[in-house]
Amino acid sequence: MNDQAVLVLRLAAPLQSWGGSSRYNRRDTRSQPTKSGVLGLLAAAEGRPREASLTDLLGLRLGVRVDQPGTLLRDYHTVSDHRGLPLPAAKVDAKGVQKRTGPAKYTGVTQRYYLQDAVFTAALRGPAPLLQRLEHAVRHPVFPLSLGRRSCPPTGPVSLGLRPDAELPQVLTDVPWQASARHRDRFRGPRVTLEATVEDPAGDLLAADVPDTYDLKTGTVFGRRAVRHLWITLPTGHTTTDQADDSSDRTDPGHDPFALLGW
């Protein structure tokens, strides 16, 4: 008896941010959802406190398909104390007491990066009973769901349901294209080629995005997992190519060697 299954999620929002290990005054985003971010969404759906164990979630294998890559947004912040007081120093001594170094600072600058209008299909493969519980939690979340940061709530239902056990590339090939109608209208050909990343012990790349905890007191240490990149071809829903539109070849980029770099 096969006790494995695959949970499929649609991760779409006006803004997403998958920052990985970035912190302090510069918060980057990766071009695809991280395992830490996806597991954090599932943990929030179940209502797990930050210090709860993640042992049962870490074994889930993650695959991500880029249905709509979106664009990069930089959000520039300035921070000051409304009372006109100097900001606390960022440095602390061995006892955790903030140091006074240099002149008083009244304004701080932070930069935060987001993906705008991106859509991803995520597939998690693992024990069927666990995924059944998680799928129910995603549809009835205890805590609000977010895509990387609390300021990034998802658009529309997140769960696309459970599927019978299959290899992640096959699942990502079987799930219909999830891009917005406006994005799909840019493609006139019968097929579209999408980038995907799947967790694979035999993969030739390492992704450092496996969390050990979400506890704010201890901080998160990120472990590594082996992954591999691939390209998946899906039907667009167009039965014929519009020969009158000579821009059709430009709207379907096919293989883009810079996509893996997030460009």
- What are the C-alpha distances in Å from 12 to residues 17, 122, 166, 259? 11, 11, 24, 19
Task: Give the containing element (helix H, strand E) for 233.
Answer: strand 222-235
List 118's β-bridge partners, or say none. 13
Lookup: tokens for 111? 């930069």
* Per-residue pLDDT, 202: 94
Other Cβ atoms less than 10 A from the Cβ of 135: the count is 22
Lookup: tokens for 75? 């959000």
CATH classification of 4-261 is 3.40.50.12160, yes or no? Answer: no
What angle is formed at CA 179 by the lines to CA 37 and CA 244, rounded to 5 degrees?
Answer: 150
| pLDDT tens, N- to C-terminus, the chain (263 residues) | 469 999 999 999 999 999 866 666 788 899 999 999 999 999 999 999 999 999 999 999 999 999 999 999 998 888 888 898 887 776 666 666 766 667 777 787 888 899 999 999 999 999 999 999 999 999 999 999 999 999 999 998 999 999 999 999 999 999 999 999 999 998 889 999 999 999 999 999 999 999 999 998 888 899 999 999 999 999 998 876 544 444 444 445 556 666 555 55
**Residue spans of alpha helices (H) in the chain:** 35-46, 55-58, 128-139, 168-174, 181-184, 248-251
Exposed/middle/buried for 99, CB within 10 Å: 0-12, 13-18, 19+? Answer: exposed
